[in-house]
Amino acid sequence: MKTYKPIDLLVRYCRIALPFVLIIGLDSCKLNNLRDLEPSGPVTRSIDELFWITVALMSIIIIPVFSMTASFIWKYRASNSKALYAPGQDSPAWLEWVVWLFPALIVLILTIMTWIYTHRLDPHKPQESSTPPLVIQVIALDWKWLFIYPEQNIAVVNELTLPVNRPIAFKITSNTVMNSFFIPRLGGQIYAMAGMETQLNLIADKPGRYFGENIQYSGQGFPYQNFETYATTQPDFDIWLMKARQSSIKLDPVHFNELSKPSVSHPVVYYGSVSPDLFKLVIDQFIGGQRSLSTAHAIDNNPGVTRNVR
């Protein structure tokens, strides 16, 4: 039987491991930077907490298993003639209990933790705060994001601005294929689907510039479908609102239909006013029997036309 020196074994293992290391390294280039993983709100802090609890519990099993695996490989290598070969040896009862009991307990603990955090992190659950939430309507387009502030009557493309320490109630839909709305430093992802409204409640408690993106493949422009998120103080948020309201462009069905055409790396655009119920019309156009955006535009421009038209 051929024997191997330790250096030969190391070289063989390195040859096997190198491609995997390169793949992982190339994949990590997609991260904007490591700060995108830093929690900046209560939701992401809870997710981060659950992650490290899971890692710690799984390490109780993973570390001993991998350590024993490496030890057995080294001890019972072909060149070690001193290793005892005892195929008929049976394991004691206490070892069987250890092998089965610890994994079972870890699975039980993980089950309980998952149940608790699933309810705690329910995206429909409003964030606890004495301040009323800011409602933002989000529409996924090809390949950009539209943010409508209905209470402020403005809209912005590919830029999201939030006041810190104020709950944000996102209402999310899609005017195209399914997308996934995700701001890594503020909360988990949630899907945007045509004809449906999903909800996400977040809060930013640190001023800063955050990276937002679509993480659901949606076609040719998918890699460029991202946006900047700015968490600001309330005075800075008010200044930003004044800047957006200075735009003379109104987001009506005509401008929306033009905006919804596929485009890549679309610039930031401000709309100083928004047609009423535009978000609802975007959803209703995918539901049978509802009026379309073109019908809504005809009604808005002809006051004599009844608004019961569908």
pLDDT higher than 90, residue 248: yes
* CA 170, chain centre distance (Å): 14
Q: What is the pLDDT of residues 32-81, one digit of tens each?
A: 455 666 888 899 899 889 989 999 988 888 898 899 888 888 888 888 87
Average pLDDT over residues 198-202: 95
**Residue 198 forms part of a structural domain:** yes
Q: What is the pLDDT of residues 72-113, one digit of tens each?
A: 888 888 888 787 777 777 777 887 888 888 889 999 999 999
**Residue 16 forms part of a structural domain:** yes
Least confidently predicted of 7-11, 64-68, 234-238, 294-298: 294-298
194 and 296 together in one domain: yes
CATH assignment at residue 29: 1.10.287
**Is residue 251 within 8 Å of 278, Cβ to Cβ?**
yes
Tokens (6 digits) for 231: 């968490």
**Residue 282 forms part of a structural domain:** yes
Tokens (6 digits) for 228: 């900047």
Q: Which of 204, 210, 241, 240 is nearest to 226 (CA)?
A: 210
Tell me the range of 14-23, 182-191, 295-304 where mean pLDDT is highest.
182-191
139 and 247 together in one domain: yes
Q: The tokens 């004599």 sit on which residue?
A: 304
Strands laid side by side in the 190-192 sheet: 159-163, 226-232, 208-214, 179-182, 190-192
Which three-class secondary structure state does DSSP give residue 78?
coil
100 and 150 together in one domain: no
| Euclidean distance between CA atoms 198 and 193, whole angstroms | 8
Burial degree of 214 (CB within 10 A; 0-12, 13-18, 19+): buried
158 and 210 together in one domain: yes
pLDDT of residue 186: 92
175 and 69 together in one domain: no
Which residue spans within 166-274 are E strands per DSSP? 168-174, 179-182, 190-192, 198-202, 208-214, 226-232, 250-251, 269-271, 273-274
141 and 114 together in one domain: no
192 and 274 together in one domain: yes
For residue 217, the enclosing domain spans: 134-300
**Is residue 172 within 8 Å of 161, Cβ to Cβ?**
no
165 and 45 together in one domain: no
Q: What is the pLDDT of residues 268-282, one digit of tens each?
A: 999 999 999 999 999
**Residue 46 forms part of a structural domain:** yes
163 and 263 together in one domain: yes
192 and 279 together in one domain: yes
If one compares 44 and 26, the residue with the highest pLDDT of the two is: 44
113 and 169 together in one domain: no
| Residues pairing with 181 in the sheet | 190, 214
Q: Which of 168, 167, 161 is nearest to 235 (CA)?
A: 161
**Residue 216 forms part of a structural domain:** yes
pLDDT of residue 287: 83
Which letter, b or e, does each residue of 154-192 get, where b requires 16 or more Cβ atoms within 10 Å of its Cβ? bbbbbbbbbbbbbbbbbbbbbbbeebbbbbbbbbbbbeb
CA 23, 24, 25: angle at the middle one, nearest 5? 90
177 and 294 together in one domain: yes
**Residue 308 forms part of a structural domain:** no
pTM reported for the whole predicted model: 0.76
CATH assignment at residue 152: 2.60.40.420
**Residue 186 forms part of a structural domain:** yes
CA 150, 292, 303: angle at the middle one, nearest 5? 75
**Residue 70 forms part of a structural domain:** yes
Number of domains in the chain: 2
